[in-house]
């Protein structure tokens, strides 16, 4: 095993221990909103309505990430990240400063040439992962997103990125945000567009309300969306067979191409299903690592607590990491995180599952269950020929 992988695994083990003991390890996973601006007009998101506020320049972003130092994963998101005409410079600045194993970019796929240009010019394409978002098939997608972010343009973006997978080694997947009963009904048609091209489709169920992107909730705690059991579904999904949908999604996970997605989605969908079925103690339930291994950055460099609590604990553009991470506000907010009953937003669940060690605990629970004849476990998501790729893909 390469020395780099061993070092990262050792750092991961250290972070797990520190998180479990209530410490504040160095951040390892950063979710960076490069802009709130968006050219879509989605009904369930206010990002496009917000005053954009100030945004770090590429040079500023480089300085902020130099404070964060080495990171395992950087997820770039928005708004629509490609509205930043300097996104390539930002990506390079982040890479120079933090050398992430994965640089993940979520896009609505409307600015095809910019997306493709970044893929072709970025200096470390094998670390690059794109996720293009859809809300359903053509009619539903276009009705929700508006005239500048069409299904056909997003499809074209996926097609052109897919053609670059082999020559560049980039990863491309599609996210289906299930926003309504029609969107749910579109899932098989959407899948039929992408599976023949070898592109994994992952689904999430829309929350009742957007917290990070809700104007009313900005800078506040969206405590009504954080529920110990159940799942706060969007009202447009009322009456839809979400349980059957998630059961079918779960059954399909083993067919995904990427082993990291198979493992992550299996974990996430089991937790989602448990919540939708309404049990009192839905599992898995990882200890949250927000403000510990997972740091979020807003466009101006400020650091919110998490997806559902956008109170900020400091600003990395103007303060040192030490001041932000060890300051009184961060300590108070960590106590709030520790008392939080838990959410099931995938962008928070994944880092928590990894850096709390719950992926491993979940696998152990699954093996014990399989031994007792009670189903499969996480390792069943791994094909024998893939074991040597796992560390590279998951860290
Ligand atoms: S959901 Fe995404 S694409 Fe839609 S307005 Fe919000 S940021 Fe833009
Ligand atoms: S579980 Fe963590 S990320 Fe989710 S709402 Fe609670 S503190 Fe925020």
Tens of pLDDT along 116-146?
999 999 999 999 999 999 999 999 999 999 9
The yes-or-no verdict on residue 371 having pLDDT over 60 is yes
Alpha carbon nearest to ligand 2 atom 1, residue: 342
> Can you tell me the distance from the alpha carbon of 226 to that of 223, in angstroms, rounded to the nearest whole number?
5
pLDDT of residue 283: 94
**Which pLDDT band, with edges at 50, 70 and 90, does 378 fall under?**
low
* Region 351-375 average pLDDT: 84
Cis geometry, peptide bond prior to residue 255 (ω within 30 degrees of 0): no
Beta carbons of 183 and 135 less than 8 angstroms apart: yes
Q: Which residue has the tokens 């009192």?
A: 280
Q: How far does the centroid of ligand 2 lie from the alpha carbon of residue 259, in Å? A: 26
- Does residue 100 sit in helix, strand or coil? coil
pLDDT of residue 7: 87
Ligand 2 atom nearest residue 342's Cα: 1
Q: How far does the centroid of ligand 1 lie from the alpha carbon of residue 34, in Å? A: 13
pLDDT of residue 388: 53
Alpha carbon nearest to ligand 2 atom 2, residue: 288
Token couple for 111: 């600015």
What's the DSSP call for residue 292? T
The yes-or-no verdict on residue 18 having pLDDT over 90 is yes
Per-residue pLDDT tens digits for 19-53: 999 999 999 999 999 999 999 999 889 999 998 89
In the beta sheet, which residues pair with residue 312? Answer: 304
Per-residue pLDDT tens digits for 208-263: 987 788 888 888 898 888 888 899 999 999 999 999 999 999 999 999 999 999 99
The yes-or-no verdict on residue 105 having pLDDT over 80 is yes
C-beta 273 within 6 A of ligand 1 = no
Ligand 1 atom nearest residue 41's Cα: 5
C-beta 38 within 6 A of ligand 1 = yes
The yes-or-no verdict on residue 382 having pLDDT over 60 is yes
* Region 155-163 average pLDDT: 98
pLDDT of residue 347: 95
C-beta 79 within 6 A of ligand 1 = yes
DSSP strands (E only) in 162-277:
171-178, 200-205
pLDDT of residue 90: 98
Beta carbons of 234 and 207 less than 8 angstroms apart: yes
C-beta 47 within 6 A of ligand 1 = yes
> For residues 218-227, b (16+ Cβ closer than 10 Å) or e, as one string?
beebbeebbe
Q: How far does the centroid of ligand 1 lie from the alpha carbon of residue 15, in Å? A: 32
Helices 346-355 and 259-276 cross at an angle (nearest 10°) of: 110
* Region 169-190 average pLDDT: 97
H-type alpha helices, the chain: 3-20, 58-68, 87-98, 112-121, 138-145, 151-168, 181-185, 187-194, 242-252, 259-276, 321-325, 328-339, 346-355, 358-371, 390-394
Whole-prediction pTM: 0.93
* Region 356-364 average pLDDT: 92
Alpha carbon nearest to ligand 1 atom 7, residue: 79
pLDDT of residue 376: 55
The yes-or-no verdict on residue 336 having pLDDT over 90 is yes
C-beta 299 within 6 A of ligand 1 = no
Share the mean pLDDT of the chain. Answer: 93
**Which pLDDT band, with edges at 50, 70 and 90, does 395 fall under?**
very low
* CA of 338, nearest ligand number: 2
Please list every protein residue whose CB sits less than 6 Å from any atom of ligand 2: 226, 288, 290, 306-309, 337, 340, 342-343, 348
DSSP characters over 248-260: HHHHHGGG-S-HH
Token couple for 23: 């410490």
Per-residue pLDDT tens digits for 295-309: 999 999 999 999 999
* CA of 215, nearest ligand number: 1
> Can you tell me the distance from the alpha carbon of 218 to that of 210, in angstroms, rounded to the nearest whole number?
10
C-alpha separations of 257 from 77, 246, 310, 329 in Å: 23, 19, 35, 42
Q: Which residue has the tokens 């994994």?
A: 200
pLDDT of residue 270: 96
C-beta 77 within 6 A of ligand 1 = no
């Amino acid at each position: 095993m390469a020395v780099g992988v061993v070092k990262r695994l050792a750092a991961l083990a250290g972070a797990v221990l520190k998180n479990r003991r209530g410490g504040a390890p160095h951040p390892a996973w950063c979710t960076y909103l490069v802009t709130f601006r968006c050219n879509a007009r989605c009904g369930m998101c206010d990002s496009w309505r917000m005053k954009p506020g100030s945004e770090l320049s590429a040079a500023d972003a480089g300085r902020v990430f130099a404070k964060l130092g080495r990171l395992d994963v950087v997820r770039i998101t928005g708004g629509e990240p490609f509205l930043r005409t300097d996104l390539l410079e930002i990506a390079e600045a982040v890479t120079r400063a933090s050398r992430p194993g994965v640089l993940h970019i979520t896009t609505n796929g409307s600015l095809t040439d910019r997306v493709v240009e970044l893929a072709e010019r970025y200096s470390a394409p094998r670390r690059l992962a794109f996720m293009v978002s859809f809300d359903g098939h053509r009619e539903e997608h276009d009705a929700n997103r508006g005239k500048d972010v069409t299904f056909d343009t997003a499809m074209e973006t996926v097609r052109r990125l897919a053609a670059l997978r082999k020559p560049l080694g980039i990863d491309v997947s599609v996210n289906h945000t299930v926003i309504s009963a029609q969107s749910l009904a579109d899932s098989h048609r959407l899948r039929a567009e992408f599976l023949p091209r070898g592109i994994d489709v992952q689904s999430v169920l829309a929350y009742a309300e957007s917290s990070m992107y809700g104007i009313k909730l900005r800078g506040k705690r969206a405590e009504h969306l954080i529920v110990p059991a159940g799942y706060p579904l969007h009202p447009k999904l009322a009456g839809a067979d979400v349980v059957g949908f998630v059961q079918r999604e779960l059954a399909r996970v083993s067919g995904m191409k990427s082993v990291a997605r198979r493992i992550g989605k299996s974990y996430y969908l089991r937790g989602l299903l448990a919540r939708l079925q309404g049990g009192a103690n839905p599992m898995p339930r990882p200890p949250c690592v927000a403000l510990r291994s997972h740091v979020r950055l807003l466009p101006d460099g400020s650091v919110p607590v998490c997806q559902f609590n956008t109170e900020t604990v400091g600003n990395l553009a103007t303060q040192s990491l030490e001041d932000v991470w060890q300051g009184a506000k961060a300590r108070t907010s960590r106590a709030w995180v520790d008392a939080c009953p838990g959410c099931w937003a995938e962008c928070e669940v994944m880092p928590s599952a990894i850096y709390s060690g719950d992926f491993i605990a979940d696998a152990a629970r699954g093996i014990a269950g399989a031994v007792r004849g009670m189903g499969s476990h996480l390792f069943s998501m791994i094909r024998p020929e893939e074991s040597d790729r796992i560390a590279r893909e998951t860290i």
